[in-house]
Structure 1
Amino acid sequence: MTVFILRRVFQALLVLAITSLVVFLGVYAIGDPLEILLSSDATMAERAQVAASLNLDQPLPVQYWTFLTSALQGDFGRSFVYNRPALEVIFERLPATLELVTTALFLSLFLGIPLGLWAGTRPGSLSDESIMTGSILGFSLPNFWQGMMLIMIFSVWLGWLPSTGRGETGTILGVRTSYATWDGFTHLLMPATNLALAQVALVIRLTRTGVQETMPLDFVKYARARGLGEGRILFVHVLKTILIPIVTVLGIEFGSLIAFAVVTETIFAWPGVGKLIIDSINMLDRPVVVAYILVIVTMFILINFLVDVLYSALDPRIRGRAQ
């Protein structure tokens, strides 16, 4: 087990190092931040002074080495726009994104599991075909189009929900959250639904497939022979079995949702890291862009590492194949 974990840690560090190099070169090869940060009538002396203060006057390898040594100490540089540590700017916006993503995951489970159970227990029926057709639409329709339609229907036509912003937040157990106020909750509902639609479709398909694969198994037949009702069999025995792959997939999808919440946050003006990265790209705020990408990659690596370790603990065969 120790060898397996060390191997995974080494692989994670290698991926992170390669990613940092690729991201740094890709971001720093695009544009000149001085063109945005300074006015067009700035003198050469002013440009040189600002370039020196931002370490932009050094050769690219020197800039990367400075960035790498500082990043290993938790310093990803200062934002060109906010004049604050880039990591601080990201962590300031991260709670709003985590709130949005967590709500989207809850909605995907709340809607996807019941619909998947219904479709899985009635294969070939009209309800099964309708649910599966809806899941295809959830995968196929562009996220930005779904968001605009939600705004058009629930904000413009019906006037039920606000279209943009996070709304008023409150404090629950010392954490600022939109759940603490009705205004904040109404602002959260529509962007979370937009982000959850594709995940609902995924959960429906995983649940339906799991039900159809589990129902013919011997332990289900034995439960029926004992006289247990279909509801108890489905919600106690079958559901407990099929939840393992669903939770595993959604755990990995959690990182994807954080990374791909950019579109939803931009459409609904949600003040999370997704909107921050779009603004930073437009302003060529390189430290924030690099720090954001590395934070997201680190989250992906940690989630996958934890899944690998958990699986290896549950099934030693996986540990043996990986060594």
Structure 2
Amino acid sequence: MLTFLLRRLLQACFVMIIISVISFAIQDKLGDPVQQMMGMTASSDDRQQLREALGLNDGFVSQYWRFAKGAIQGDLGTSYYFKEPALDVILSKLPATLELAFCAILLVILVATPCGVLAAINPKHILSRLLMFVSSIGLSVPIFIVAILLVYVFSIEHNVAPSFGRGDTTDVFGLWQSGIFNKDGLRHLILPSLSLAIALMPIFVRLIRAEMMEVLQSEYIRFAWSKGLSARRIYFVHALKNTMLPIITVGGIQAGTLVAYTILTETIFQWPGMGYLFMDAVSRVDTPLVAAYLMVVGGIFVVTNTLVDLIYGLVNPTVRLASHGL
């Protein structure tokens, strides 16, 4: 296990270096930040002075080296718009995004698991066929269409839930502000978290169904039936537990992808998280903030994938992580 951890740490460092190069290289493609900061009326001399002060006239290698040295020390530059460290601005929006992602994942677990199991137990039942039909449609519909439809139905037509903003928040142990612990915050969470959950549910319903149907044909399941165990124990303990490995794999990947999905969701619902901040940073050509966002998201992917590999060993101790060359 120690060998695996060291190897994964080296891989994580290499991946983060690649992400840092890519995130820094695309900054020149976003536009001229000096023009955004000074406007069209500024003189060319004033623009050149600002470019020189920001170090934008240096070569790519010099700029990246300066960026890399700061990144090692936790300094990802200063936001042009907020005039604050870019990492601090990103981290101030991180709790809102994590809160949204957590609620979406919770909805997926509570809905997709029983639906997938039900579809596997009675694959020819009309309800199972209906679940597969709905999941097929869900895989085909883009997330922004789902979000707009939810806003129209539940906010505009029926006024069930707010369509934008985060609502009231509660201080949690002085560490972050959360909307989960008050009624108004929960009402604002309903539509964006449901939108994200709907984007992920079809994948997990179909995956759980496919894995469960395979497991239910195993010899040990037949042996469990012959022992007279209850159907609930066989389905939800013996069978479901042994479908977890592929589900954990896909779940880890989708958890990272969920952060990317939040860009569209947070923009549509004006949710004050990292995704909404990223879109504002792109429109303002706030390149340090864009680079910081990509670095943080890349770090989330790396950490998530490492945790998925570790959970493998907890779910199934026979998996020898170190011998897989990961």
Q: TM-score range by the shorter chain?
A: over 0.9
Question: 1:31: Cα distance to partner?
Answer: 1.4
Deviation string 1:59-95 (CA, Å, 9 cap, x unpaired) is: 2221111111111111001000000000000000000
Amino acid paired to 1:95: P
| Local SS of the residue matching 1:79 | coil
Q: Which moved more, 1:293-302 or 1:277-286?
A: 293-302
The reply on whether 1:320 has 2:295 as its aligned counterpart is no
Contact 2:30/2:282 (8 A) holds in 1:
no
- 1:180 aligned counterpart, secondary structure: coil
Helix, strand or coil at the partner of 2:164 = coil
CA contact (8 A) 1:54 1:80 kept: no
1:147 aligned partner = 147
Could you say what secondary structure the match of 1:260 adopts? helix
- Structure 1 distance, partners of 2:28, 2:266, is 25
Equivalence for 2:289: 288
- The corresponding residue for 1:302 is 303
Structure 2 portions without partners, runs of 5+: none
| TM-score, structure 2 normalization | 0.93
Q: Alpha-carbon deviation of 1:173? A: 4.4
Local SS of the residue matching 1:261: helix
- AA partner of residue 64 (structure 2): Y
Amino acid at match of 1:264: T
**Alpha-carbon distance in 2 for matches of 1:127, 1:78:** 55
1:37-56 aligned at under 5 Å gives the runs 37-56=37-56
Worse-superposed segment, 300-309 or 30-39: 300-309
Q: Measure how far apart 1:165 and its partner are.
A: 0.6
Q: CA deviation at 1:55?
A: 2.1
The reply to whether residue 162 of structure 1 matches residue 162 of structure 2 is yes
- Bigger mean CA deviation after superposition, 64-73 or 37-46: 37-46
From the superposition, tell whether residues 124 and 28 of structure 1 become closer, same or farther in structure 2 (CA, over 3 Å).
Answer: same
Assess if the C-alpha contact under 8 Å between 1:170 and 1:176 holds in 2. yes
Tell me if structure 1 keeps the 8 A contact 2:245–2:312.
no
Q: Return the offset for 1:23.
A: 2.0
Change over 3 Å in CA distance of 1:64–1:8 after alignment to 2 = same
Structure 2 counterpart SS, 1:216:
coil
Scaled by the length of structure 1, the TM-score of the pair is 0.94
- Once the 2 structures are TM-superposed, how far is the Cα of residue 315 of structure 1 from its aligned partner? 4.2
Tell me which residue corresponds to 1:62: 62
Which residue is 1:270 aligned to?
A: 271
CA RMSD of aligned residues (A): 1.9
**Equivalent residue number for residue 203 of structure 2:** 202
Any conservation in 1 of the 2:4–2:321 contact (CA below 8 Å)? Answer: no
Q: Which residue of 1 aligns with 2:102?
A: 102
Q: Is the Cα contact below 8 Å between 1:78 and 1:86 reproduced in 2?
A: yes
Q: Distance in 1 between matches of 2:242 and 2:323?
A: 24
Greater shift in the superposed pair: 58-67 or 149-158: 58-67
Q: In the aligned structure 1, how far is the partner of 2:78 from the partner of 2:164?
A: 29
Aligned length: 323
CA separation in 1, counterparts of 2:311 and 2:118?
A: 30
- Which residue in the other structure is 2:8 paired with? 8
Matches within 5 A, 1:197-236: 197-236=198-237
The 8 Å contact of residues 155 and 161 in structure 1, kept in 2 or not, is answered as: yes
Q: Distance in 2 between matches of 1:191 and 1:14?
A: 34
Q: Give unmatched runs, 5+ long, in structure 1.
A: none
Offset of 1:39 from its aligned partner? 2.3
Q: CA deviation at 1:322?
A: 1.1
Instruction: Calculate percent identity across the aligned residue pairs.
Output: 37
Question: Equivalent residue for 1:79?
Answer: 79
Q: 1:262 to 1:66 in 2, by over 3 A?
A: same
Q: 1:316, CA displacement in angstroms?
A: 5.4
User: Equivalent residue of 1:84, what SS?
Assistant: coil
SS of 2:31's equivalent in the other structure is coil
Closer/same/farther in 2, CA of residues 316 and 194 from structure 1, 3 Å limit:
closer
**What's the counterpart of residue 111 of structure 2?**
111
